[in-house]
Amino acid sequence: MSVTLSRRQAFKAMIGLGGTVTSALLPVTAHAATGAGGKSEEHPAHPIAPADAIAMLYDSTVCTGCKACMPACNEANGLPTDTLLSGGIWDMPMGLNAKTKNIIELYQDPQSDEFAFVKKQCMHCLDPACVTGCPFGSLVKRDLGAVTWNSSLCIGCRYCEVACPFEVPQFQWENWNPKIVKCEFCYDQRLKEDMQPACTAACPTKAVIFGKRTDLLAEAKDRIAATPDKYFENRVYGEHEAGGTQVLYLSSVSFQKLGLPKLGTTSIGHYATKVTSVIYKWLAGPALVAGVFGFFIRRNWERHEAERHEHEEKTGFPDQL
Amino acid sequence: MNITEPTQDKRGTTLINHWQCGVPVTTGPVLTPFLLLLIGLAALGLGLAVLRFFSPLGPFSAMNDVYAWGIWKTFNVMTLTALGSGPLALGIAAWVFNRQKLHVVMRTALVSGFLFYATGLIALGFDVGRPWNFYSALMPWRWNSESAMLEISICMPLYCAVFLSFEILPLILERVYYTANDRSRALLCRVAPIIRKVYPFVIIGAYVIPLMHQSSLGGLLLLAGTKINPLWQSPVMPLLYLIAAVFCGLGFTIFLLMIVCLRYARDLDAAVLAELANLLSGTCFVFLTIRVGDLIWRQQLLAAFAFDKMSLLFLFESAMILAPALALRFRRVRETPRALLNMSAVACLGGMLYRFIPTSIAYQPLRSTAYFPSAPELVMAAGYIALGSAAFVLAVNYFAVLPGEASAWDHAYRPFGWPRKAAQTSIAIQVPSTVAQERAI
């Protein structure tokens, strides 16, 4: 019995088979490489802060609500004052907005006399969702862990606003050349010159302090240990939230009452990319699908062409593609 | 128009199998009041869009920093491109799974899909705040390869501008062939074999790329995390978005075919429609199986039947998908044009609901802010849809898009000449076409 396979067909079959097998194996090897080492994984479920990671620790029980940090932030970042509510007299933002990167908000229970201040700004996540989503890398996590925005790469898609669990990035809706406004840890303004951020420098009561993340985490845990029942749930918000953030909170009232979302401990970037990063590794998944499709399309195409010639001979009408 | 003898099926429904090739509409005036209305609406929407380009987004939309994505993204792109996935669904069925019957309706799916994508991309272009920075798409070293947004912002324009355009190229060349002089005809005769040569290779890309970006549309929402109600937020969202695109594409192709056949008094083809209905029902079942399986896996089944607002929304959406899935299992329903039309419309609405809800109604951020599209936003969104619809009406009049009987198209006659057609047909055709309409449905 002879094998009726021309040399050309044999080559084709070899290339086709080889391509399919390679593309089937690639994701497996890619997965093995990232899974075994652990270090090379781009979005681990629980990212570990690098040794030089900086942080802010905000203690709501110490904050007096003097808002000294707000003009300091505006001055350092060259932001205009938001005087909409005060009738043009003083800076009075309603929340983080296109003119406000940092704000002190007041939580007050309408029934009891419970109240607390909370400082809002970018949380500088260890694995930021905004950086994961930003299509052209306009938002990046810089050294020391500051998350900054680059105007020349941003297309204004506002995916960062959808992705951020803390609703921090703000878009300039009233600007023809809109920018994304968010706290950048004073990276270009002060951090580069070895100065601490404007808000921590301005705080008179040391309610918000600046330092290495490991040091501040230890400091926060010391405070909890010193006064066991003072702090809510005896824990630091930001230690594990969304994989960990570089702004840490201590509070005597529930974090959710302060407007800090209840989040899991897994990094959002990990949740969003754990499957796709395997499928799209070296485009192996699409290549595999293309290989399989190509095989069947080729086969059906040849059948179709045979039928077409037959049809055109029979009817005289040209076949449409 | 050559009217063929209707054949009756076993139960006496008047249906005939006479879709053989794409045939242009050569009856009736082109510029109807309805088309003028569509063009007017499209002009209004595009005019506003041009104004918007010279103005910030603020005055033109009700979007805010909590609901940063308005209906241009969530409806015109994320929802309507599902309806425009006909070329993907039908193409894979026809070329990969060898459903030969579907080749004849590919052109209808292709033109509608192209227009959904093109208008969606126009909507995106006027929605983004800094479009002038989009040249980064040509610089791979700037790509953030892990971003679903990158995948969409590159693959969608690529698919529309290269792959869909290539697939509808034969349609345009065919028209040129019939209207051009002999030298151009000779040139086209040389081009045609080249197109046939590369066609099977290009369509591989035309099916792989929408598989990628239609699932990435669901992948976009993964990063929104806890902002989206857990009934919708799920790791299988990319897969469900893709399957929703497939059955919406199938459902909308059925719906569109039946509507245009009714409008232009074409005969229906029971075999092709039944084939499509069969596929539609099957993909709806696949979707629901994964949807329910996912809810069980994530232990959200109780929340799904809590009968609060979100649960009712979920049940409504699922019922809209379950109804056609069940109904189209019955041959009697598949072969009754009225039921098939209704069921395909219901399936489309169900799929659109699934794609729209997590971006808007079930999108529940922490800060209590409301979003409802403003008037210019709505007019622009409607304008983009009107633009696509008007273009489709013009396309079926000037190109061989809609399926019909081969004998209905006299190939020796130049069928698309506007003045001749307007002069010849505008008076005579009105009466027989209404008669034929009644017969067709």
Per-residue pLDDT at B181: 79
Which of B130, B200, B366 is the closest to A155 by Cβ? B130
Cβ neighbours of A320 in B, within 8 Å: 21-22, 107, 170, 174, 400
Is residue A155 within 8 Å of residue A178, measured between CB atoms? no
pLDDT tens per residue across span B302-354: 999 999 999 999 999 999 999 999 999 999 999 899 999 999 999 999 999 99
Q: How far is B147 from chain A (nearest CA, A)?
A: 5
Q: For the segment B240-275, what is each residue's pLDDT rounded down to a tens digit?
A: 999 999 999 999 999 999 999 999 888 888 889 999
**Nearest C-alpha in B relative to A303:** B98
Say if residue B203's pLDDT is above 60. Answer: yes
Q: Which residues of A touch B170 (CB under 8 A)?
A: 320-321
Residue A317, phi then psi, degrees to nearest 5? -85, 135
The closest CB to that of A155, out of B54, B128, B223, belongs to B128
Q: Which residues contact B236 (CB under 8 A, 6 or more apart)?
A: B290, B294
pLDDT tens per residue, range A272-316: 999 999 999 889 999 999 999 999 999 999 988 888 888 778 776
Q: How far is CA B404 from the centre of its chain?
A: 20
CB-CB contact of B353 with B317 (8 Å): yes
Cβ–Cβ below 8 Å for B95 and A259: no
Q: Nearest 5 degrees, angle CA B56-CA B58-CA B60?
A: 90
B366: nearest CA in chain A? A261
Cα–Cα separations (whole angstroms), residue B4 to A83, B139, B336, B405: 75, 57, 20, 9
Q: Where are the alpha helices (DSSP H) in chain A?
A: 7-37, 69-77, 129-133, 159-163, 198-202, 213-226, 268-273, 276-279, 284-315
Task: State whether B56 and A320 contact (CB < 8 Å).
Answer: no
B189 min Cα distance to partner chain A (Å): 12
Q: Residue A293: which of B147, B153, B207 has the nearest Cβ?
A: B207
For A99, the token pair is 């003119």
- pLDDT > 80? residue B215: yes
Residues A300, B96: C-beta atoms closer than 8 Å? yes
Considering only CB atoms, A162 lies closest to which of B196, B211, B224, namely: B224
Instruction: Note the pLDDT tens digit of each residue in B282-306.
Output: 999 999 999 999 999 999 999 999 9
Flag the least confident range among A88-97, B275-284, B417-426: B417-426
Instruction: Give the pLDDT of residue B22.
Output: 85
Q: Å from B163 to nearest chain A CA?
A: 14
Residue B391's Cβ-side half-sphere holds a number of Cα atoms within 13 Å equal to: 19
Which stretches in chain A have pLDDT values below 70? 1-40, 316-318
% helix, strand, coil for chain B, step of 5: 70, 0, 25
Q: Which residue has the tokens 């929304």?
A: B313
Which residues in chain A are closer than 8 Å to B64, comparing Cβ atoms?
173
Length of chain A in terms of residues written: 321
Interface test mutation site (partner B, options A20, A43, A157, max chain B beta carbons within 10 A): A157
What's the confidence (pLDDT) of residue A33?
40
Q: What is the value of ipTM here, to two decimals?
A: 0.86
For residue A135, what is the nearest residue in chain B, using CA coordinates?
A: B150
Q: Is residue B100 scored above 50 in pLDDT? A: yes
Contact B68 A161 (CB under 8 A): yes
* Complete domains list, chain B, with CATH: 63-370 (1.20.1630)
Chain A residues in contact with B367 (beta carbon < 8 A)? 95, 167, 259
- Lowest-confidence pick of A201-215, B60-74, B411-425: B411-425
Distance from CA of B257 to the nearest CA of A (A): 18
Q: What is the C-alpha separation between B396 and B416, in angstroms, rounded?
A: 10
Residue B43 pLDDT greater than 70, yes or no: yes
